[in-house]
Chain A
């Protein structure tokens, strides 16, 4: 069983680390979206321009049959427009909530969300992430089975033991104590994409027609086309206002169906942030005169179960505090993965020293540094690129993404080059710390109205929160860099220290070697 844990884990541990870190950052995707769009900061109070936003979206996709508009929320004041047309790239734009115009493009915090479920690699990426998720479930279950002292060592953490012992304790600690979270997040993560991974149901029930399957899941009854243009189009502002009144809470989306037909229908889905499974109420309006037609039926129990599981994963419920808990547990997951590869490396150190640096061992060590220290650096670089790239640049969003990849590549080269002579862990962690600590300064210099001070004065806690979190994380990375300045102990010395501490703590219970 140990071999299963080692190999199920090791093969995908770096991919999983990228997925975990991306997902952890995506806990605050909308907050990062907001931070990365200075045009939205310090908006003058005023009405929400849903109609102007719809006009902008229709100009961008003149032939689209269905448009989606996400009204402003407490987490993100922009209006978001989405269009999904078969055979065309998805449109996902942030619009100014006052006049419906487009805001300078940015990949936003959404970058981490997409990275998290497809590694920014489209459908093949979705399959790779799914495979990694399934192997993670395997590694979690086999990990509990091979951890014979799971209850005896439940509270044990011996950082002073050094070397492999401390790494293994750290791995067990974050793995075992966070186990319910890790199991839940890996399982629900795979479940969210189940119609992609397990196609048998759709093949048999819908003869492989995914569109028919999704249409059956949708709770909105589809209007019958009348093949003539609508005489007029109802005001979305009024419909949104009415929907919020009827729902007694915010609406998540307005869906505009049959945009160019007299059967135009508008539905408003409840945000439902007070339920794990999300909103179930869906109000339907006539798209020509805007009169309320009624509510669609609640989704069936099986689909509601799916919504509950995906809701547990996507954590859109319960406010910022629960997102912070997920963020911290996600960080624990990152530590579990980082310590895992470290245990693997420490265990093989002596063998590898005999084989020499030419063996694959040196490469594994360098790549390990490149992934675990490189990705945080690249993530901060993305935020820097957002502030440094000119606002009117048309290809701004793709340049932001390119700078993320470029910095990650540079970090990889750095790790390879500095492995023998330098201290690549310390250097990369140190750079990450410096960039994080200087981020509020950069923000204040490039966007004075969005600075930490201005946002505190303005009581804009979402904006201030991003800068403050950067400072806190910067201190954390500085601490990690400082830890790595201490001389590296070799394996043999560790073994002696381990033996010495075991005998000097003779008062402790008989410790069998694990």
Chain B
């Protein structure tokens, strides 16, 4: 269950980052032009988060089932972000931020239980 939430949250955050890197959507969300540097950073963050989700999934469930898990949650997360975006843009961003942060926290506490 935790794995699923982490996978969905990370994939969702990665789509949010990739989307906000696009000039048109950045303007929609923040009303300002995105700088080249910011756009690159957002895009890099998006791809890295996506990759991290895949690594976690494969680590937990093996390359075959893990990849299927990742791919399925990847698509659903994309649909969720795109559906939420026009109706509740603020909530959509908030979810990406909180979801991403919470899953990073969960991961760190999982990897190093002695730290906490």
Contact = CB atoms under 8 A, between A and B. Distances in A.
Interface string A173-201: 11001101100000000000000000000
A177 B80 CA distance: 10
A197 B19 CA distance: 42
Contacts of A173: 79, 82-83
A326 B72 contact: yes
Contact of B27 (A156, A318, A332, A508): A508
A180 B75 contact: yes
Contacts of B27: 507-509
A361 interface: no
Interface string B69-91: 10111011011011101110000
A159 B62 CA distance: 39
Contacts of B82: 155-157, 173, 177
A500 interface: no
A321 B1 contact: yes
B65 A317 contact: yes
Contacts of A177: 75, 78-79, 82
Interface string A309-320: 000100001100
A322 B75 contact: no
B105 interface: no
Given A157-B86, A508-B24, A322 B79 contact: no
Contacts of A274: 62, 65
A507 B31 contact: yes
Given A507-B27, A508-B28, A509-B23, A321 B85 contact: no
A247 interface: no
Contacts of B64: 275-277, 308
A160 to B, nearest CB: 7
B56 interface: no
B31, B69, B76, B85 interface centre (most CB from chain A within 10 Å): B76
Contacts, number: 76
Contact of B79 (A158, A174, A180, A317): A174
A154 B82 CA distance: 9
A174, A318, A326 interface centre (most CB from chain B within 10 Å): A318
A389 interface: no
A134 interface: no
A329 interface: yes
A158 B75 CA distance: 19
B68 interface: yes
Nearest to A159: B86
B58 interface: no
A272 to B, nearest CB: 11
B61 interface: yes
B9 to A, nearest CB: 14
A328 B19 CA distance: 22
A56 to B, nearest CB: 36
A325 interface: yes
A156 B28 CA distance: 11
B68 A329 contact: no
Contacts of A312: 68
Interface in B21-77: 22-25, 27-28, 31, 61-62, 64-65, 68-69, 71-73, 75-76
B81 A322 contact: no
B85 A329 contact: no
Nearest to A311: B64
B61 A178 contact: no
B4 interface: yes
B65 A157 contact: no
A177 B77 CA distance: 9
Nearest to A277: B64
Contacts of A157: 82-83, 85-86
A155 B65 contact: no
Interface string A145-169: 0000000001111111000000000
Given A155-B19, A312-B68, A329 B75 contact: yes
Given A155-B19, A177-B82, A325 B73 contact: yes
Contacts of B28: 508
B86 A322 contact: no
A406 B85 CA distance: 41
B71 A155 contact: no
Interface string A106-134: 00000000000000000000000000000
Given A155-B85, A507-B31, A508-B28, A332 B61 contact: no
Given A275-B64, A332-B79, A322 B31 contact: no
Contacts of B65: 274-276, 317-318, 322
Given A155-B81, A321-B1, A328 B76 contact: yes
A335 to B, nearest CB: 9
A180 B1 contact: no
Contacts of A509: 23-24, 27
A174 B79 CA distance: 7
Contacts of B73: 325
Contact of B76 (A155, A156, A158, A325): A325
B86 A325 contact: no
B81 A329 contact: no
B51 to A, nearest CB: 16
21 contacts: A154-B22, A155-B22, A155-B81, A155-B85, A156-B82, A157-B83, A158-B86, A159-B86, A159-B87, A173-B79, A177-B78, A178-B75, A274-B65, A276-B64, A317-B68, A318-B61, A318-B65, A325-B72, A329-B72, A329-B75, A332-B76
Q: Lowest 7 A-B CB distances belong to which pairs?
A: A325-B72, A177-B78, A276-B64, A155-B19, A509-B24, A318-B65, A177-B79
Given A155-B19, A318-B65, A509-B24, 4 more contacts: A177-B79, A180-B75, A325-B76, A509-B23
